[in-house]
Chains A and B, each alone.
Chain A
Amino acid sequence: MALLQIHEPGDTPTPHEGDQALAVGIDLGTTNSVVAISSGGKPEVLRDDDGKALVPSIVAYAPDGSPVVGGLARMLMLDRPDSVVGSIKRLMGRGIEDIKGLGGTLPFDIEPAVEGQTGMVRLNVAGHKLSPVEISADILKALKERAEDHLGHLVDKAVITVPAYFDDAARLATKDAARLANLDVLRLVNEPTAAALAYGLDKAVEGIYAVYDLGGGTFDISILRMEKGVFQVLATGGDAALGGDDFDHAIAEYFLADRAARLGEKELTSAEVKVALMTASLAKECLSSASDGEWVLDVDGQQTGHKLDRETFDGLIGDLVERTQDICRAVMADAGVTAADIKGVVLVGGSTRVPLVRAKVADVFMQQPLADIDPDEVVAVGAALQAEALTVGSDTLLLDVTPLSLGIETMGGLIEKIITRNTPIPVAKAQEFTTYQDGQTAMVIHAVQGEREMVDQNRSLARFTLRGIPPMTAGAARIRVTYTVDADGLLTVAATEETTGIEAEVAVKPSYGMTEEEMADMLYDSMKHAKEDMAVRLLAEARVEAGRNINAVRAALAVDGELLTPPERTDIDDVIARLEAVLGGDDREAINDAAEEMEQLTKSFAEKRMDRGIRSALRGVELEALEDGVSNG
């Protein structure tokens, strides 16, 4: 190696030497992806020869399995729909169970579940079985190549953006995809936060801003405080399954209903669904500027023309857009601000071009949203700026929060929240739990994410068992469970039995089990179902309490059963049976009544036990010592 190289000024042999450490910023979107770089604080979006920055997030697979990504794949969608896949981001971190309910209407050919095997969904594309992670990796590889062509050297580090409302499983899946594409992820940054960074630095704004990000498949709303290079997220919310794709679905269904009225009902293949959705997407884009139009649906060898005007379109998507308004209001409340406190609303994502969306945003924030940035490119620009900050250094500071509460399953299917939503990350919180039964030597730790009261209404993240707890009476063990969320928003769970120091720890790996729809409705529903949840919670608590009391009575009977006369014993046995009979039902009153009855019937038994307990405690104690104790007490 040469220790010293001398070059003529302006004649450096490797012009990009200073860029070797350069990391790229990637916005991996549902519909389109963008890659950008930043150097010397100047971000640049990387474009193709035609000047296009957007790479359609669509992959076509050749029979040999080699992928084609972007515009070309999009064109192939109409000719060879079976070999082309789009909107794959919607399936990131999802299990087969998650999407069962949607199978027929999604433009995906989903592989049937393998018996006894859970895990990520696999799609059949051109005869290949591919997971969403693999397909996303192919998109990332294409973006990486674009950056490498531009820079003239290899790129192996990236900041990748994810929807703020992405759950743990989807974040992990994104990181896995990057690993498959040979990209080291320096940081996962939330899309609205990246947009705020780009916007805030570019326009040098200060104050409280809202970022309304409606993409192809996800909706995020974040409220941030920007001040002298600090970007502090106050609250965030959203819907991981609501976006422009749903507008396409609404239009496609409208067209197909219109078609069915003329030609009769016909079941469509997933390839035909793709064609109908592309036509619908075209109609949606046209209606952002035009007031009406007619589109031709070319499926199953028959063409049909369908008219649609703006007003009808607005009617089709009205509920979806109003849902984003509800979420905006809830997030403002979480942030402790009102519309009047918000200095500006930044629009992000292609779907914010829809006029109804803009009108409804203006309505909920009581001001016209800012439209002085390119909603398609701003996220990638923010990612590139953050990539530079992480590698080269910077004075800016991004302070983000957890989008969803993280909890643990307790007895009766209830959830104890350990980290509440909108807590700044990184964060670590610990809580102590104890055993439920005498001699219990293991405890299942089940981590869940979501806002609802019951386990099965939230997303299950991980389940593991802490073993080797020494046998003790119920309630004596002290199990400390610690949840740690890192700066990428990823959770690690650790459990320790305090008296013995026995430990177990897991990096959370998704344990699928929730439907797409349930995921989508989580936060939204938690607002609507607060009361219902309360009733369910009370019932579950009554069950747990009654179960615990039965255990206690049985344990007492085993020890001191002979204190009872035979009729007393029969009464107690009967009431236990009655209580157990109602325990499985949904009648909280009945459970409480039977529990109350059991308590009455066991009262004298408890008194007898107490007498015996005192007598045996006193037995053998000398009178003198006893008097001593009294006078000193």
Chain B
Amino acid sequence: MAASAPFCATCGAVQPPGQADHFARLGLEATFTVEQRDLDRVYFDLQRQLHPDRFATRSPREKSLSQQQATALNEAYETLREPLSRADYLVHLKGMGVLPEGCNLVNDQMLLMESMELREALAEAEAPMDVDAITTRANDDIKDCIAQLATLFADDDIEGACRLTTRLKYLKKLAEECRARKIKLGL
């Protein structure tokens, strides 16, 4: 879905944001491989024009429209910035027909076993070294996962991408728990 122009072509007044997917809103192609630099550039360019700071002395209506525009941009940017939310969103976008329930279904026994083992190991870890080892493993796995996701999306394997996105969710959670564990151990 293409984004409608943020400004009126005739009078130049700011318009309501309208319906558009997050990629279209930022003028990006709907792919998993999004360069952070490109994303930042388009986001900053659009915010420069549409942010409420540009409309501080304008009419209440224009102020409100600019707030809606900036809100839509922030939502798009926030969704596409992190690989996990980007993957989740892309599966939702491309897999509407195939996977109505999204990537929240856990039926991967291997994944369940693995994550249970790692969680147990983390709960028992007392030394900084032990927590670090699990953290490193989680971070390495996250990297692998993201690299594989790029391939799967490029091949249009939405179901495969969905499985990996679920795995990525677990890994992210594990990495967060590692951080919490470290704080708790006072490291």
Contact = CB atoms under 8 A, between A and B. Distances in A.
B184 A187 contact: no
A574 interface: no
A384 to B, nearest CB: 14
Nearest to A399: B47
Nearest to B47: A397
Interface stretch (B74-82, B109-117, B131-139, B144-152): B74-82
B179 A390 contact: no
A426 interface: yes
A426 B78 contact: no
A398 B56 CA distance: 13
B78 A397 contact: no
Contact of B53 (A398, A427, A428, A530): A398
B48 A395 contact: yes
Contacts, number: 54
A50 to B, nearest CB: 34
Interface in A320-336: 333
Contacts of B44: 230, 397
Interface string A427-442: 1100000000000000
B71 interface: yes
Interface string B75-112: 10110000000000000000000000000000000000
A402 B96 CA distance: 32
A389 B53 contact: yes
Interface in B30-57: 40, 44, 47-48, 51-54, 56-57
Interface residues of B, number: 22
B110 to A, nearest CB: 27
A386 B57 CA distance: 13
A527 interface: yes
Interface string A391-434: 10101011100000000000000000000000111111000000
B53 A426 contact: no
A486 interface: yes
A187 B56 contact: yes
B70 A426 contact: yes
A530 B57 CA distance: 44
A186 interface: yes
Contact of A397 (B51, B71, B77): B51
Interface in B154-187: 179-180, 183-184
A336 to B, nearest CB: 9
Interface string A243-263: 000000000000000000000
B48 A397 contact: yes
A575 to B, nearest CB: 33
Given A395-B48, A397-B47, A397-B48, A424 B53 contact: no
Given A399-B47, A428-B68, 19 more contacts: A21-B57, A186-B57, A386-B53, A389-B53, A390-B56, A390-B57, A391-B57, A397-B44, A397-B51, A397-B53, A398-B53, A399-B51, A423-B78, A426-B70, A426-B71, A426-B74, A427-B74, A428-B75, A527-B183
26 contacts: A186-B57, A187-B53, A187-B56, A333-B179, A386-B53, A389-B53, A390-B53, A390-B57, A391-B56, A395-B48, A397-B44, A397-B51, A398-B53, A424-B74, A424-B77, A424-B78, A425-B74, A426-B67, A426-B74, A427-B75, A428-B68, A428-B71, A428-B75, A484-B71, A487-B67, A487-B70
Closest 6 CB pairs of A and B: A390-B56, A487-B52, A424-B74, A426-B71, A186-B56, A426-B67
Interface of B: 40, 44, 47-48, 51-54, 56-57, 67-68, 70-71, 74-75, 77-78, 179-180, 183-184
